Amino acid sequence: MVFWFNSDRERGRVFAEAFARDLPDLPFVMDISERDPEEIRYILTWTTPPDLHRFRNLEIVFCIGAGVDQFKTETLPSNVMLVRMVEDGIVRMMQEYVTLAVLALHRNLKAYIGQQADATWRSLPVRQAAQQRIGILGLGMLAQAVIERLKPFGFPFAAWSRSEQHFDGVDCYHGPGGLTPFLARTDILICLLPLTKDTQGLLDGELFAALPAGAALVHVGRGAQLDHDALIAALDEGHLSGAVIDVTEPEPLSPEHVFWRHPKITLTPHIASATQPETAARAVIDNIKRHRDGLDPIGLVDRNRGY
């Protein structure tokens, strides 16, 4: 029984130490060339490795990231579990990034950076937090953690999810029928949805039109959810006031892409959050122990839902 770490060596070294300390009976390898593929029980990887059928005794594929849309799930045998990364480092970094983005939009930071470049000393109108309605697309673990981090500022919160959910202090909307009323009460929209066939292209012209005039977007979901032309049109018409974008399709964007220089867009290169090896190794080890005890791993992907 062997664990194959199929990712970068730097993080692999941290994982190897943690496995040697906390799971010494499970051989940990980064190079499988000298191993019989039938020995491999667990793989940690970003996406589906080639020739997966070689691993006839595979039990769990752990994704090194939080999102699993890059996996070809149809090539994973149905008895193999796919587990997304649920670990404190990803959560903490996402909380930091979304807080940074929301506060930057709330307090007009991009406009002030522009004014500084022009040596302009002028104050801009500012809403109080109690009037700045935040709406989160998605109510999974990351969205809930982001809400908890932002709560002390006093913003009113709503969230939209595919199926009905409840979360303390948040107006919860769900399903196709809940989307329009959710958008109508949202001044800063945060997209934290997984990429599925239903969320592909969701951030389009129709969705932007359903937001109140002056609304802004924070996009930390997946690039393929956003229609770039529709966003530019909504910003240039003045319907949207700003956007903070961390994910795009493709990544990276070409140097000519309009997002780089748009005065209302803050663009970052998919850095909102990243798997931290110390906390991720702990999470994977705990999941292997759960699996050995006959429990489902935390982060088990529902293949029908796609996340």
Q: Given the rule CB under 6 A, which of 64-72, 119-127, 237-245, 297-305 is the region that contacts ligand OXD?
A: 64-72
Closest CA to 286 of 7, 23, 15, 8: 23
Nearer residue to ligand OXD within complex by CB, 67 or 205: 67
Residue with tokens 């109508």: 184
Which residue, judged by CB position, is nearest to ligand OXD in the bound state? 65
Question: What are the φ/ψ torsions at residue 121 (nearest 5 degrees)?
Answer: -105, 95
CA distance 211 to 295: 43
Task: From the candidates 106, 133, 219, 222, give the one annotated as an active-site residue.
Answer: 222
Nearer residue to ligand OXD within complex by CB, 63 or 105: 63
The set of residues, in sequence order, having a beta carbon less than 8 Å from that of 194 and lying 6+ positions away, is 67, 68, 69, 138, 140, 221, 222, 306, 307
Number of residues that bind ligand OXD (CB under 6 A): 5
Report, in Å, the least distance between residue 35 CB and ligand OXD: 27
Is 270 considered catalytic here? yes
Report, in Å, the least distance between residue 34 CB and ligand OXD: 30
Contact with ligand OXD (CB under 6 A) among 43, 66, 86, 193: 66
Q: Given the rule CB under 6 A, which of 7-15, 65-73, 110-118, 228-236 is the region that contacts ligand OXD?
A: 65-73
| CA atoms within a 13 Å half-sphere pointing along the CA-CB vector of 306 | 13
What x/- string results for residues 218 through 257 when contact with ligand OXD is judged by CB under 6 A?
A: ----------------------------------------
Q: Is the peptide bond before 37 cis (omega within 30 degrees of 0)?
A: no
Contact with ligand OXD (CB under 6 A) among 67, 181, 205, 306: 67
Q: Given the rule CB under 6 A, which of 8-16, 47-55, 59-67, 258-266 is the region that contacts ligand OXD?
A: 59-67
Contact with ligand OXD (CB under 6 A) among 12, 65, 140, 277: 65
**What beta strand segments (E) does 24-100 contain?**
28-29, 40-45, 60-63, 81-83
How do 170-174 and 28-29 pair as beta strands? Answer: unpaired
- 262-267, long-range: CB < 8 A, 24+ apart: 262/232, 262/235, 263/110, 263/114, 264/110, 264/235, 264/240, 265/231, 265/235, 266/101, 266/104, 266/110, 266/242
What x/- string results for residues 260 through 279 when contact with ligand OXD is judged by CB under 6 A?
A: --------------xx----
Is 222 considered catalytic here? yes
Task: From the candidates 239, 270, 282, 303, give the one annotated as an active-site residue.
Answer: 270
Nearer residue to ligand OXD within complex by CB, 69 or 187: 69
Residue with tokens 């110390």: 278
Report, in Å, the least distance between residue 47 CB and ligand OXD: 11
Q: Is 140 in the site for ligand OXD (CB under 6 A)?
A: no
Nearer residue to ligand OXD within complex by CB, 211 or 284: 284
CA distance 119 to 111: 12
Q: Which residues contribute to the site for ligand OXD (CB under 6 A)?
A: 65-67, 274-275
Which residues are identified as catalytic?
222, 270
